[in-house]
Amino acid sequence: MTNEQRVAVVTGASRGIGREIALRLARDGRFVVLVSRSAGPLSEVKALIDDAGGASAVCAVDVGDSGAWQGAVEKIAQERGRLDILVNNAGITRDNLVLRMSDEEFDEVLRVNLKSAFVACRAAARAMMKGRFGRIVNIASTSGVVGNAGQANYAAAKAGLIGLTKSLARELGGKGVTANVVAPGFIETDMTKDLPGEVRDRVLMGMALKRLGTPQDIAAAVSYVSSDDAGFLTGQVICVDGGLTMC
How many whole angstroms separate alpha carbon 12 and alpha carbon 96? 23
How many whole angstroms separate alpha carbon 20 and alpha carbon 172? 27
Residue pair 135/124 in contact by the 8 Å Cβ criterion: no
Stretch binding ligand NAP (CB under 6 A), from 36-44, 73-81, 128-136, 165-173: 36-44
Beta bridge partners of 56: 32
Q: 3-state class of 244 per DSSP?
A: coil
* Closest separation in Å from C-beta 187 to ligand NAP: 4
Stretch binding ligand NAP (CB under 6 A), from 10-18, 95-103, 162-170, 228-236: 10-18
- Contacting ligand NAP (CB under 6 A), which of 7, 16, 34, 128? 16
How many whole angstroms separate alpha carbon 63 and alpha carbon 115? 9
- Closest-CA residue to 215 (of 171, 173, 238, 185): 185
- Contacting ligand NAP (CB under 6 A), which of 43, 70, 192, 245? 192
- Closest-CA residue to 7 (of 79, 62, 69): 79
**What residues between 193 and 222 interact with ligand NAP by CB under 6 A?**
none
- Contacting ligand NAP (CB under 6 A), which of 7, 22, 73, 91? 91
Q: Choose between 103 and 190: whose C-beta lies nearer to ligand NAP.
A: 190
Q: Choose between 101 and 191: whose C-beta lies nearer to ligand NAP.
A: 191
Residue 242 is a binding residue for ligand NAP (CB under 6 A): no
**What residues between 108 and 137 interact with ligand NAP by CB under 6 A?**
112
- Contacting ligand NAP (CB under 6 A), which of 10, 14, 219, 221? 14
Residue 227: alpha-carbon gap to chain centroid: 15
Longest dimension (CA), the chain: 54
Tell me whether residue 154 is one of the annotated catalytic residues. yes
- Which residue is catalytic, options 36, 154, 184, 186? 154
How many whole angstroms separate alpha carbon 58 and alpha carbon 158? 26
Residues near ligand NAP (CB under 6 A): 11-12, 14-18, 36-38, 41, 62-64, 89-92, 112, 139, 141, 184, 186-187, 189-192
Q: Which residues are catalytic?
A: 154
